[in-house]
Chains A and B, each alone.
Chain A
Amino acid sequence: MIKNNDKISENQLSILLFTTMLGAGVLSLPADVAKAAGPNGLIVILLGGLVALIFARVISFVASKFPTETFVEYSEKIMTKPVSVLLTVFLIVYFLIFCSLNLRIFGEVAKSYLLNSTPIEVIMITLLFATAYIVRYGIEPIARMSEILFPVMVIPTIIIFLPAITDIDLSNFLPILRISPLRFAKGILQTTYSFVGFEILYVIFPYIQLGNKLKKSINVSFFSIIFFYLYITFFTIGIFGYKETSVQLWPLLTVIKSINFPGFFIENLESLIMGIWTFAVFTSISVFHYAATLSLSKLIKAREHSYFVIPLVPVIYFMALIPESIVEVYRYASYATYLTLFFVIILPLLMSAIVKLRHGGEKQ
């Protein structure tokens, strides 16, 4: 048995970032980009991913100045204590929001496709207890779990789509760059939200065995998720065209329905993709849950984060049940993007500016 020293390597960080970013949003991603940028969805994903990468690097720049501290502590040094407390509370809420959004969307999809008569509460609680179990043991088991699940998620997804390659109509991606620059920029910004999850970099720095590959591992995780998103969107828009994709709720599941797998017995692959996607949701939820628990325990200066795992379970659960319907879930999700705007773009820029100014001052 490997000893749990509560530290992850930089390679593990790379996989952890990938599995965190890959969550419930991937089901609706092609619809979002088709709506935002029409036939140029692929370009928007690429650029949106690069924008997200830049901000991830900004966050890691700030956090790496304080490698032994989490956001709770170093934000106090950068800004003042009251601001820091306020921001930390918001950050915890932010992690909890994404945790519960993922959970609710998982429940809705599982209920409508697989378990029609099972109450959604049962589906959600089961998953939540599974994540709470792993979160209690800290970051390392989560990272190891991600390492195990990563190939299980990625390889089948890539294989499942291959038979559909003949159904792709490449002209669905034309015309290139004929939409207004403003709409295009907005599309890039919206796609950046699909990469939500790298904000965990705010809090997990003390748990990384820092070497010299940190930047590389962040790059690797971003490029692999950009590739993964591009792959899925390429098939979805290539088969449906952007007009139809943009009005679908979960295009990823619908496109699986339209794939003709050779052989009579393998039909209705959406249940397979849902199994894979359950792993994706599981890893995302557990990382968000962990980040929220960790921040909370640091804020209260508790000795161990594991005390707060179970108390947060009902919080996440009831937050997930707030939206009345699936329509409202996505409305709340769009509200959450304002918080994303703050935590992903504004705050990192602000903090890095302050850090740079301070450092400049110290040198003089």
Chain B
Amino acid sequence: MRKLIITLILIIPLILTGCWDKIEIEDRAFVMAIGIDTSNQAKNYVVTFQFPNVKQVSSAAGGGGGGGGQPNFSISEVGDTVFSASRHVSTRLDKRLYLGHTKAVILGKDVVSNRDKFLEVLDTLDRSYELSRKLRLLVADGKAQDILLKNYKFDPDIGAYIDDIFKQYNRTSIFPNIDYNKITKSLHDTNGNAIIPVISAGKDELKIAGSAIIKNYRLAGWMSDGENMGYMWLMGYVKGGDITFDMPTTDGKEVKVPFNITNTVMKRQVTEQNGKIIYKLKYDVEGEVTEYSFQKHGEMFDTNVLSTMEKKADGIIDKMINESLKRFQKDLKVDMIGVGDYIEKYNPSLWSKVGPTWNEKFPDIVVEPIVTTHIRRIGLFR
């Protein structure tokens, strides 16, 4: 009996050696950014992974010492699918790729221009067990590989860098603050329409501005910075940013005045009159004027001046909205500004009438933006 127990005790450690899935942390490559491009060769995709040099990161955190070399590595691999590319990397890399911390996925322009490939890539991202839903999905204005393989002067870790840029989107409102979660939701809800922010690389820096318009799972056009802000207004995403208007002064000149938006409230309403759908947008914009003219100190402390300024700001915002609207209604003829969604939710009886043929109806609806700007503060001088 005792021998049996001792034998058992000796056998048990053999089956308790740990689990199948153990991977030491230094054997993992924590991918921070992924770039996906199409390839002209036999294989379909070129996938680029960027991951930090863990050795260098850990030695820096530990207070210096050894550990040199590049701050991070990028590796590209071709494959018939994105997944196979990510697996085939293992023939050239001694580490296991781990995608759970990926912050950004950059799609090359070629990928979004090709409907089939774009659908494939989107499905890969959706089905992945590892990829987070919080990652930033962007479209490159050229090849994604070019963006990931460059050396940048500010922060070499592109994934985290992009994520941080998005956190301050409301300082400008010129690119949509849309993460992967919102993009797939939009693609699911509208069956293939979405707006994806655009990333472009200069010589040694990155820029996120403007956006790509996806219509029916394919790139349909680009939006410039200004148009993008118009889109943000239409969606009610604007919570900050600045606009500039020309303010005529008493001596017959014009001064460029910046208006810094601090908050906006959007109210929507939809009505049907004589078969025409009227979509009313009411904005209450709050903000402050931060520059006027040195010579005019003392003059701004006048509600008349402020109300003129407010009118000017109204006009600028109204123009932005209308320009963006023209783009969607007349050029692209696609509802990306959530009108259909709004009608479906808040006026379901109207939607059951117009819903089935919404794509044809959308260019003819009347959109009426009403902007009311309130200047709350004027800086430190009267």
Contact = CB atoms under 8 A, between A and B. Distances in A.
B19 A118 contact: yes
B294 interface: no
Contacts of B21: 114-118
A244 B188 contact: yes
Interface in B117-144: 129, 132-134
Given A117-B21, A244-B189, A239 B344 contact: no
Contact of B134 (A114, A244, A260): A260
Given A258-B133, A268-B100, A174 B345 contact: yes
B346 A175 contact: yes
A178 interface: yes
Nearest to B179: A258
A171 interface: yes
A240 B348 contact: no
Interface string B176-201: 00000100110011000000000000
Contacts of A6: none
B116 to A, nearest CB: 20
Nearest to A256: B133
B159 to A, nearest CB: 13
A65 interface: no
Contacts of A112: 129
Interface of A: 39, 112-119, 167, 171-172, 174-175, 178, 239-241, 243-244, 247, 254, 257-260, 267-268
Contacts of B188: 241, 243-244, 247
9 contacts: A112-B129, A116-B21, A117-B20, A117-B21, A174-B345, A175-B345, A257-B134, A258-B181, A268-B100
Contact of B20 (A118, A167, A258, A268): A118
Contacts of B341: 171
Contacts of B342: 171
Interface in B71-100: 100
B101 interface: yes
A267 B345 contact: no
Contacts of A241: 185, 188-189
Contacts of A267: 100-101, 132
B138 to A, nearest CB: 18
Interface of B: 19-21, 100-101, 129, 132-134, 181, 184-185, 188-189, 341-342, 344-346, 348
Contacts of A244: 184-185, 188-189
Contacts of B134: 257-260
Given A118-B20, A244-B185, A113 B132 contact: no
Contact of A175 (B100, B129, B344): B344
Contact of B189 (A114, A117, A239, A243): A243
Contact of A254 (B19, B133, B189): B133
B129 A113 contact: yes
Contacts of A239: 181
Contacts of B346: 171, 174-175
A171 B345 contact: yes
A3 to B, nearest CB: 29
Contacts of B20: 115, 117-119
B348 A178 contact: yes
Given A174-B345, A244-B189, A257 B133 contact: yes
B375 to A, nearest CB: 28
Nearest to A249: B127
Closest CB pairs A-B (n = 6): A258-B133, A174-B345, A175-B348, A244-B188, A257-B133, A118-B20
A183 to B, nearest CB: 15
Of residues A119, A240, A254, which shows the largest number of chain B Cβ atoms within 10 Å of its Cβ? A240
A353 to B, nearest CB: 41
B338 to A, nearest CB: 10
A259 B132 CA distance: 9
B64 to A, nearest CB: 22
Contacts of B129: 112-113
B275 to A, nearest CB: 22
A267 B132 CA distance: 9
Of residues A39, A244, A257, which shows the largest number of chain B Cβ atoms within 10 Å of its Cβ? A257
Nearest to A255: B133
Contacts of B185: 240-241, 244
A239 B344 CA distance: 17
Nearest to B352: A178
A117 to B, nearest CB: 4
A259 B133 CA distance: 8
B299 to A, nearest CB: 41
Given A116-B21, A241-B189, A244-B185, 20 more contacts: A113-B129, A114-B21, A115-B21, A118-B20, A118-B21, A119-B20, A167-B181, A171-B341, A171-B342, A171-B346, A172-B345, A174-B345, A175-B344, A175-B346, A239-B181, A240-B185, A241-B188, A244-B188, A257-B133, A268-B132
Contacts of B344: 175
A271 B132 CA distance: 12
A249 to B, nearest CB: 9
B156 to A, nearest CB: 18
B348 A257 contact: no
Contacts of A171: 341-342, 345-346
Contacts of A258: 132-134, 181
